[in-house]
Amino acid sequence: MTEFYDQVKERLIRYAKVDTQSSNASDTVPTTMKQFDLARMLRDELIETGAQNVWLDEDKCVVYGILPSNLEEGKGTSIGYVAHMDTAPDASGTNVKPWVYENYQGGDIVLNEELKIVMKVEDFPNLNNYLGQDLILTDGTTLLGGDDKASIASIMTMVQYYQEHPEVKHGLIAIAFTPDEEVGGLARDLDLARFGSPIAYTLDGDYLGYYEDETFNASAARITIKGRSVHTGTAKGIMINAVDIAAEFMNLLPKFEKPQYTEGREGFFHVISCNATCENAVIDLIIRDHDAIQFDHREAYIRKCTESLQNIYGKEMVSCEIKETYRNLKEVIDKVPFMIDYLKEAISACGIEPKSLAFRGGTDGSALSHRGLPSPNLSAGYENAHGRFEYVPIQSMEKNVEILIKLNELYALRND
| Sign of torsion over alpha carbons 326, 397, 131, 345 | positive
**Which part of the chain contacts Zn ion (CB under 5 A), choosing from 2-10, 142-150, 252-260, 322-330?**
142-150
Angular region, 253: left φ>0, alpha ψ -120 to 50, beta rest: beta
CA atoms within 13 A on the CB side of 244: 9
The partner residues of 221 in beta bridges, in order of sequence, read 285, 322
The CA distance from 76 to 214, in Å, is 27
Local structure of residue 21 (DSSP, 8 states):
B
Judged by CB under 5 A, which stretch of 74-82, 91-99, 145-153, 257-265 contacts Zn ion? 145-153
Instruction: Write the interaction track for Zn ion spanning residues 185-214; mark x where CB under 5 A is met and - where it is not.
Output: -------------------x----------
Shortest CB 45 distance to Zn ion, Å: 20
Q: Which one of residues 19, 134, 148, 206 is an interface residue with Zn ion (CB under 5 A)?
A: 148
Query: Which listed range, 146-154, 299-307, 319-327, 365-373, lies at the site for Zn ion (CB under 5 A)?
Result: 146-154
Least separation in angstroms between residue 363's CB and Zn ion is 8
Instruction: Give me the 94-133 binding string for Zn ion, x by CB under 5 A, dash otherwise.
Output: ----------------------------------------
Q: Sheet containing 392-393: give its strands across.
A: 99-101, 135-137, 392-393
Of the candidate spans 69-77, 128-136, 141-149, 399-407, the one that interacts with Zn ion by CB under 5 A turns out to be 141-149
| Residue closer to Zn ion, measured from CB, 242 or 397 | 397
Q: Which of 389, 291, 381 is nearest to 331 (CA)?
A: 291
Give the gyration radius of the chain's Cα atoms. Answer: 24
**Smaller CB distance to Zn ion: residue 147 or 213?**
147
N-terminal to C-terminal alpha carbon distance within the chain: 36
Q: Does 364 bind Zn ion (CB under 5 A)?
A: no
Q: Is 289 in the site for Zn ion (CB under 5 A)?
A: no
- Using the rule CB under 5 A, is 383 a contact of Zn ion? no
Cis peptide preceding 148, ω within 30 of 0: yes
147 near Zn ion, judged by CB under 5 A: yes
Q: How far is the CB of 220 from Zn ion (least distance, A)?
A: 20
CA separation for the pair 325, 358 (Å, rounded): 18
CB-nearer residue toward Zn ion: 202 or 306: 202
Complex with Zn ion: residue 147 or 383, whichever CB lies closer = 147
Please give the size of the binding site for Zn ion, defined by CB under 5 A.
3
Query: DSSP 3-state assignment of 110?
Result: strand
Which is nearer to Zn ion, 45 or 147 (by Cβ)? 147
Neighbours of 78 (CB within 10 A): 18
In 3D, which of 270, 288, 290 has the Cα closest to residue 357? Answer: 290
Known catalytic residue: 114? no
CB atoms within 10 A of CB 351: 9
324 catalytically annotated:
no
Output the smallest distance, CB 22 to Zn ion, in A.
Answer: 11
- Which range of residues in 15-23, 147-155, 217-225, 302-310 is near Zn ion by CB under 5 A? 147-155
- CB proximity list for 408: less than 8 A, separation 6 or greater: 79, 158, 170, 171, 173
SS3 for 343? Answer: helix
Q: Which is nearer to Zn ion, 22 or 395 (CB)?
A: 22
**Which candidate in 57, 86, 182, 398 is catalytic?**
86
Residues contributing to the site for Zn ion (CB under 5 A): 147-148, 204
Q: Tell me the catalytic residues.
A: 86, 181
